[in-house]
Amino acid sequence: MVHMRYMVLRCFWALVPLLLPLHAQVSSDTVRALERVATSWMEKEHIPALSVAVGVGDAPAWTAAWGFTDLENFVPATPRSMFRIGSIAKTFTAVAALQLAEAGRLDLDAEVQAYVPSFPHKKWPISVRQLLSHLAGIRNYQGDEFNSTRHYRSIEEALAVFAADPLVHQPGSEYLYTTYGVNLAGAAVQSAAGVSYAELVRRNIIEPAGISSMRPDDVFAVIPYRARGYRRRADGAIENCALLDTSNKLPGGGWEATAHDLVLFARALFNGRLLKPDSLAAMWTPQKLNNGKPTGYGLGWGLYQHQGVLVAEHSGTQPGIKAHLLAVPQRRIAIAVLTNLEDGRAPEIAREMFAALPEGSK
């Protein structure tokens, strides 16, 4: 009976989104198209909760949410629901680093030990730029580290997980995606700023962007509207996700936010409130290997061309969530998709919503 009640309620909420009362710059036809994308993916993938925000130009974003952020207590999702954003956090670390570089407080090409002297020297020098672009050769997760439940008191303490390990390759010779590398970049940012990483992001990014709810994903904190996370079993049934404490990776994946928060962040970049044009261009330019081959990843962002227009994006994957932020700077379009299901297909949803926008906005 509980299972049937959940299915009936979930189908109802999937068809009737909860909307934030904003005047969005999208037509009613576009809203219906976006809703069709959302409900189709929810039904196909059995996503418990989906929250989206779509911003076009400078008008307030269109935001909506469907489903349940807590299946056991039948808590409906709303645009105020807070989700882990996973590796989308890497974009914030990149922006913080570039802000410090603009102020002359951080040299992106200096050895990281200039800012984190406790980090052991390796066979080759490592720069902050290489860390932000996944070219430094720092390893990624091993064993059960992805599902870590240990609580770390600081970013520096969490570096001990990988600090003693050798580099996987010579910096610049290969692209190796690594959250640990961005954690080390975050430690450098924190040192250069002279304040905690979280406080720096709050002062220099969250407040200037007008974001009201984004905050560190503290497992001990009471966070209003926090969504619970789920995963799909081999037989297709939904169950609770594994436990996770993200204190091991605040710069690389340790924040909670709403979809609207992420659109506000992208819009602040478009409007020049966070970075100067040269810094934006550097962040959204694909880095190259030592042999000149582009990687398709800039500083904190994945990059590709859509009909000759740059698209910058980043996904987040953690136990219980799949998230995606898609930004089109030239068109001033930002789309954020947050789900509380592992492999909740957020990148596909965001890209399909981008495709559903009128041609004039793309």
How high is the pLDDT of residue 166?
Answer: 98
Burial of 285 (0-12, 13-18, 19+ CB in 10 A): middle
Check if the beta carbon of residue 354 is closer than 8 Å to that of residue 326.
yes
Check if the beta carbon of residue 181 is closer than 8 Å to that of residue 90.
no
Q: What is the end-to-end Cα distance of the chain in Å, rounded?
A: 46
As a whole number of angstroms, the distance between CA 341 and CA 176 comes to 26
| Tens of each residue's pLDDT in the chain, 362 residues | 334 344 434 444 444 566 543 445 678 899 999 999 999 999 999 999 999 999 999 888 999 999 999 999 999 999 999 999 999 999 999 999 999 999 999 999 999 999 999 999 999 999 999 999 999 999 999 999 999 999 999 999 999 999 999 999 999 999 999 999 999 999 999 999 999 999 999 999 999 999 999 999 999 999 999 999 999 999 999 999 999 999 999 999 999 999 999 999 999 999 999 999 999 999 999 999 999 999 999 999 999 999 999 999 999 999 999 999 999 999 999 999 999 999 999 999 999 999 999 875 66
How high is the pLDDT of residue 25?
Answer: 62
How high is the pLDDT of residue 212?
Answer: 92
Q: The tokens 């969490």 sit on which residue?
A: 158
Across the chain, where does the E strand assignment appear?
18-19, 49-56, 62-70, 75-76, 83-84, 215-216, 230-232, 238-240, 255-257, 302-306, 309-318, 321-328, 333-339
**Full-model pTM:** 0.93
Three-class DSSP category at 221: coil
How high is the pLDDT of residue 157?
Answer: 97
As a whole number of angstroms, the distance between CA 259 and CA 114 comes to 36
List the domains of the chain with CATH numbers.
1-19+58-79 (no CATH), 82-346 (3.40.710.10)
Looking from the CA of 215 toward its CB, the CA atoms found within 13 Å total 13
How high is the pLDDT of residue 359?
Answer: 74
As a whole number of angstroms, the distance between CA 286 and CA 146 comes to 27
Check if the beta carbon of residue 231 is closer than 8 Å to that of residue 238.
yes
As a whole number of angstroms, the distance between CA 41 and CA 37 comes to 6
How high is the pLDDT of residue 191?
Answer: 98
How high is the pLDDT of residue 3?
Answer: 45
In angstroms, what CA-CA distances link 297 with 88, 112, 278? 13, 20, 17
Question: Exposed e or buried b for every residue in 231-266, given b needs 16+ CB within 10 A?
Answer: bbeeeeebeebeebbbbbbbbbbbbbbbbbbbbbbb
